[in-house]
C-alpha cells in the first residue's frame, strides 16, 4: 500500500530511532567521533553528511519518487550545483522565461566555464526540437513559469530530450510535489527553491534536488560535497517542519487563489489575469494533464505604473516583497523586483509591463483579501479618473 502525499508529508522523515522523538533531532555538529583508524561510522563531517539533513534529503526523495535527494543552502545553490554536472563545451537549452537568478547564473557564470546556452519558448516544443545541437546535454524547464504562467509539456519535452541524449531538469518550485511530479513524467532531475512553499513561512532560504537515476544521484552527491553549499542542521529541521504542513497550506492557498483570480478577472480596472487554473489559459489542457492542482500564485496587469503605485499604496493586508509561497500573502512587482536587471524592452517582450503584479496567496481569509483588493482597485479607479479630469 502506498500512502498519499499528504500522509507522506507528515511521516516521511520518521521518528528518531534512538529516542522515539517525533521530531527529527537537530544534530548541531560539524564532525563525528570515529571508533577506529580504519573503520568510520555513517557520518564523518557535516558537509559530506549530517543526520538532520539526511532525514530531509530522504524525505524529498520519497515525495518526488526519486532515488536520491539533496539539500542546499538556497534554491540557487541547488540549481547551480545541478549545472555543475556539465563540462566545458556542453550546451544547455533553457525556458526563455526562466527564474531571474537562474538566467543570471546561466548567462554570467556558466559561460565563463565554457558552457553555452539557448533560450527557447517552451510552450512550442517544435522550437525546442530545432534548438537541440550535437553538444546539447540538458533541457531545463520551469512550468508554470514566472510571472506570466506559461505551461510546458514536461512529458513531451523529456521524451524529445531523451531521444537526443539530453537530461531534463525541471524547476518544480511553483507546483511542489503535492501537485506535480516531474520524475514520473520522464524528467531526470527535479529542483526546488524550498525557500517558497516547502518551508512556507518566509523564514529560511533552502534548495532541494532529487534525481531519478542512482548514477546521476552519485554524481550530484559528489558535486554537493565538493562545492559544499549544503543546508545547515537548523534549517534542515525547519524545512522538515514546513513540509509537514505543505498539504494543508497549499490546498487552502490554491483554493483562495482560484477565487481571487476569478474576482480579478471580472474587475474593470484589471486588464489581464494569468492563472493556470483558468479554462481559457492557453496552457490549461497540458497543465491539467500533468498537474493535480493550479497553485497559489497568479499575476495580473493594471494599465500602467501610476495605477500600480496607487494600488500598492492602498493595499492593506499583503506584504510587498520579493518571494512567494508563504503563509502571508505576498505582492511583488516584477518590473523593479525579480526582473529589474532585464532591459525594459526584453521585459515587455515577456509580458512584464509596468502594470504587472505577482500575487502569492497566503492563508488569510479569502474574503478579507478580496475586500482589500476591491478597495485598492476602487482607489485606482477614482484617482485615475481624477488625473483624466485634470
Ligand atoms: C525563488 C526561486 C528560485 C531561487 O531560489 P532561492 O531559494 O531564492 O535561491 C528558483 N526558482 C524559482 C521558480 C524561484 O521562485
Asked whether 81 and 227 are in contact (CB, 8 A), the reply is yes
What pLDDT, on the 0 to 100 scale, is given for residue 115? 98
Indicate the residue among 221, 244, 267 that finishes a domain.
Answer: 244
What pLDDT, on the 0 to 100 scale, is given for residue 207? 98
Ligand 1 pocket residue status of 193, Cβ below 6 Å: yes
Both 252 and 236 in a single domain?
Answer: no
For ligand 1, the distance from its centroid to the CA atom of residue 172, given in whole angstroms, is 10
Task: Name the residue of 145, 193, 207, 231 whose CB sits within 8 Å of the most ligand 1 atoms, as the mutation to test its pocket.
Answer: 193
Both 151 and 166 in a single domain?
Answer: yes
Ligand 1 pocket residue status of 173, Cβ below 6 Å: yes
CATH number of the domain enclosing 321: 3.90.1150.10
What pLDDT, on the 0 to 100 scale, is given for residue 389? 63
What pLDDT, on the 0 to 100 scale, is given for residue 390? 58
Ligand 1 pocket residue status of 182, Cβ below 6 Å: no
Calpha distance 67→240 (Å, rounded): 18
Please state the atom number of ligand 1 nearest to the C-alpha of residue 324: 15
Asked whether 314 and 372 are in contact (CB, 8 A), the reply is no
Ligand 1 pocket residue status of 211, Cβ below 6 Å: no
Indicate the residue among 244, 261, 280 that finishes a domain.
Answer: 244
Q: The C-alpha cell of 243 is what? A: 513540509
Indicate the residue among 244, 264, 285 that finishes a domain.
Answer: 244
Both 148 and 194 in a single domain?
Answer: yes
Residue 211 phi, psi (nearest 5) = -110, 150
Asked whether 34 and 45 are in contact (CB, 8 A), the reply is no
Both 70 and 169 in a single domain?
Answer: yes
CATH number of the domain enclosing 161: 3.40.640.10
Ligand 1 pocket residue status of 256, Cβ below 6 Å: no
Both 260 and 167 in a single domain?
Answer: no
For ligand 1, the distance from its centroid to the CA atom of residue 220, given in whole angstroms, is 19
Both 215 and 329 in a single domain?
Answer: no
For ligand 1, the distance from its centroid to the CA atom of residue 344, given in whole angstroms, is 22
Average pLDDT for runs of 10 along the chain of length 390: 91 90 96 94 97 97 98 98 98 93 94 97 96 98 94 98 98 98 98 98 98 98 98 98 98 98 97 97 97 98 96 98 97 91 82 96 98 97 77
CA atoms within 13 A on the CB side of 29: 12
Instruction: Provide DSSP, 231-296.
Output: PPHHHHHHHHHHHHTHHHHHHHHHHHHHHHHHHHHT-TT--EEE-TTSTTSTTHHHHHHH-S---S
> pTM of the full predicted structure?
0.96
Both 225 and 261 in a single domain?
Answer: no
Return the beta strands (E) in the chain as ranges.
68-72, 91-95, 116-120, 136-142, 167-171, 189-193, 207-211, 272-274, 297-301, 319-320, 330-332, 356-360
Residue closest to 323 by CA, chosen among 233, 210, 209, 194: 194
Both 155 and 119 in a single domain?
Answer: yes
List the catalytic residues. 47, 99, 171, 196
**Domain of 79?**
5-244
Q: Would you call 330 helix, strand, or coil by DSSP?
A: strand
Both 137 and 253 in a single domain?
Answer: no
Both 222 and 291 in a single domain?
Answer: no
What pLDDT, on the 0 to 100 scale, is given for residue 156? 98
Domain count, the chain: 2
Torsion-angle region of 114 (φ positive above 0: left; ψ -120 to 50: alpha; else: beta): left
For ligand 1, the distance from its centroid to the CA atom of residue 380, given in whole angstroms, is 31
User: Which residue owns the Cα nearest ligand 1 atom 2?
Assistant: 193
Asked whether 265 and 272 are in contact (CB, 8 A), the reply is no
Both 200 and 267 in a single domain?
Answer: no
Both 109 and 187 in a single domain?
Answer: yes
Residue closest to 152 by CA, chosen among 133, 180, 193: 180
Task: Name the residue of 71, 73, 76, 359 whose CB sits within 8 Å of the most ligand 1 atoms, as the mutation to test its pocket.
Answer: 76
Calpha distance 185→148 (Å, rounded): 23
For ligand 1, the distance from its centroid to the CA atom of residue 164, given in whole angstroms, is 28
Ligand 1 pocket residue status of 140, Cβ below 6 Å: no
For ligand 1, the distance from its centroid to the CA atom of residue 174, given in whole angstroms, is 9
Amino acid at each position: 500500500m502506498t500512502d498519499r502525499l499528504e500522509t507522506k508529508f507528515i511521516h516521511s522523515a520518521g521518528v528518531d530511532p534512538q529516542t522515539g522523538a517525533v521530531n527529527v533531532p537537530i544534530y548541531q555538529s560539524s564532525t563525528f567521533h570515529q571508533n577506529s583508524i580504519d573503520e568510520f561510522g555513517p557520518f564523518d563531517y557535516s558537509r559530506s553528511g549530517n543526520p538532520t539533513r539526511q532525514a530531509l534529503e530522504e524525505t524529498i526523495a520519497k515525495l518526488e519518487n526519486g532515488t536520491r535527494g539533496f539539500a542546499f543552502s538556497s534554491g540557487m545553490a541547488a540549481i547551480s550545483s545541478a549545472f555543475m554536472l556539465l563540462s566545458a563545451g556542453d550546451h544547455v537549452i533553457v525556458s526563455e522565461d526562466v527564474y531571474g537568478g537562474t538566467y543570471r547564473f546561466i548567462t554570467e557564470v556558466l559561460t565563463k566555464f565554457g558552457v553555452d546556452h539557448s533560450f527557447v519558448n517552451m510552450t512550442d516544443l517544435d522550437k525546442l526540437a530545432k534548438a537541440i545541437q550535437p553538444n546539447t546535454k540538458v533541457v531545463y524547464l520551469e512550468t508554470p513559469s514566472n510571472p506570466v504562467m506559461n505551461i510546458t509539456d514536461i512529458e513531451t519535452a523529456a521524451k524529445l530530450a531523451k531521444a537526443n541524449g539530453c537530461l531534463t531538469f525541471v524547476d518544480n518550485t511553483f507546483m511542489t510535489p503535492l501537485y506535480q511530479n516531474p520524475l514520473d513524467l520522464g524528467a531526470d532531475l527535479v529542483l526546488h527553491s524550498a525557500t517558497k512553499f516547502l518551508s512556507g513561512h518566509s523564514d529560511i532560504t533552502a534548495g532541494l534536488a532529487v534525481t531519478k537515476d542512482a548514477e546521476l544521484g552519485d554524481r550530484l552527491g559528489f558535486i554537493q560535497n565538493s562545492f559544499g553549499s549544503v543546508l545547515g542542521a537548523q534549517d534542515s529541521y525547519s524545512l522538515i517542519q514546513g513540509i509537514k504542513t505543505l498539504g494543508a497550506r497549499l490546498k487552502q492557498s490554491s483554493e483562495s487563489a482560484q477565487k481571487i483570480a476569478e474576482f480579478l478577472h471580472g474587475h474593470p480596472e484589471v486588464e489581464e489575469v494569468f492563472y493556470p487554473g483558468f479554462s481559457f489559459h492557453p496552457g490549461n489542457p497540458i497543465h491539467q494533464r500533468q498537474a493535480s492542482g493550479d497553485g497559489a500564485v497568479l499575476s495580473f496587469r493594471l494599465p500602467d505604473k501610476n495605477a500600480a503605485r496607487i494600488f500598492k499604496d492602498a493595499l492593506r493586508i499583503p506584504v510587498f516583497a520579493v518571494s512567494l509561497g508563504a503563509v502571508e500573502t505576498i505582492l511583488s512587482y516584477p518590473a523593479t523586483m525579480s526582473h529589474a536587471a532585464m532591459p525594459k524592452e526584453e521585459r515587455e517582450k515577456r509580458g512584464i509591463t509596468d502594470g504587472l503584479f505577482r500575487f502569492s496567496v497566503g492563508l488569510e481569509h479569502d474574503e478579507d483579501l478580496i475586500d482589500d483588493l476591491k478597495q485598492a482597485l476602487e482607489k485606482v479607479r477614482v484617482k485615475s479618473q481624477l488625473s483624466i479630469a485634470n
